[in-house]
Structure 1
Amino acid sequence: MEVKLISSTQNSLVKRILQLKEKSRERKKSGLFIVEGQREIALALKGGYTMQSLLFCPEILNNPSIDTLTKGACPEIIEISENVYAKIAHRGTTEGVIALMSVKDHALQNITFTNNTPLVLVAEAPEKPGNIGALLRTADAAAVDAVLIANPKSDLYGPNIIRSSVGCLFTNQIGMGTTDEIITFLQTNQIKIYCAALTASKNYVDCDFTGASALVMGTEATGLTDTWLQNSDQNIIIPMQGEIDSMNVSVSAAILIFEAKRQRGF
């Protein structure tokens, strides 16, 4: 395959990549996003994402060959100069390689389960990229069957979420929809809804998560909306002994998820 060369920061593709990095509107309009780093690119390809272009800086890239990185599945390979790489890289530790990839469709109808007792993490209206990334890392660590995001406030393909998830955006099965749509999806699939809430709640260790279960997390500021609480099979709580009544959402999710995994013998 012919390798192109870009040495000018004024190149039209460089400008396009900058727009895709910085503007959610451009990502949504084009259906494309940027991935940096060898590990992240490898995870995206393993997760079934389609690579459109691979840009590499030979002065920085070391170890793997381009063929190893692309798995032979990239229609366009471009060599870039160090100044171009410095211009388009979101962070300076991405090993000199950047990929342009197509987004996935995260419609709920695309979610599939390989067992009859799926464990699902639901996050309603998560907004902070760091929290979303941490939730995805936890979900990957526990190998949950799906992560569902209700009323999403942030663009999943923004560079901060990709970075904070350390590539776990690509390793999880992710669905998105409104709160009502996700509740209907869970009920249709006979998945019990466990809402993390302060009222009418049961200690999480006293709940049985061995059946099909959805652990539903709200925001740290306002918690879950009434719609979730009205459709909850059981509200659950993590007892706390200090002065505050809530923890970071990703920490809370990790506690609940790994209790469910413990009950399932993992």
Structure 2
Amino acid sequence: MARRLARELGVDLSTLQGTGEGGRIRREDIERAAASARPAPAAAPAPAPTGAAEPLTGVRRIVAERMTHNFTTTPHFYLTAEVDATALTRMREGLLAKVEAASGARLTITDILIKVCAQALSEQPEVNVAFAESGGGPAIVRQSEVNVGVAVALEQGLVVPVVHHADRLTLAEIARRRSDLVERARSGKLGLQDLEGGTFTLSNLGMFGVDQFQAIINSPQSAILAVGRVRERPVAVDGAVVVRPTLFLTLSVDHRLLDGAQGARFLERVAQLIAEPYLLLG
């Protein structure tokens, strides 16, 4: 009976160790061996996509290729700080009329942040560097200019026009240049010179209601600063909980160029200039 069942189920009795008395092979032993030898059921086919594939073209394709390259080849690390924005918002409100009269542009939080980044970069030139591959291997390029790129979201993709020599400009001059660059970006009238030469990038998504995020470094630059919205939040001041306008900063850093302490010192200085923005006017 055992031999007949084994033949029917395709089980080789010589490979079995019986569990019956004296090592006798039982029906259960044969059925168990047959069950374990059965191939696993084939996996269900992956569901077919329900939408139509749309090729990436133009700016969107370029952005996709660059972001993939930058994120996969650059070792990122991230530093985050929450900053009291009380003085920042007050200074902006106090300078609105003056800056608009001088430049014809409306002063924004982004304009002040460009000035903040430029000031911090000029004070800490070890951050104002770029990565390069030379004949002798990896190299650090010490930048001779402070040029701050500003990420601008368009329907067709992301562009980063550059405010050149931002460390030499007043807030009114920065507001005028930033306004002009953004307007020409949206109308498709940026020139190559408007997109080249950046040494650092600022990405502000606060106007979209974003609290904080991590941005991808614009290689070969050393870092990018991601800024969230100004929002009233509870904070501790002199042992008491009060409500203040704050914002979150996240610095993405290329670990090939900077270590944690260097990145932290830079972010600390940026945070100080935001908390005490009148230092920019000194």
Band of TM-score, shorter chain: under 0.3
TM-score in terms of structure 2 length:
0.22
**RCO (CA 8 Å, sep 6+): is it higher in 1 or 2?**
2
Larger Rg: 2
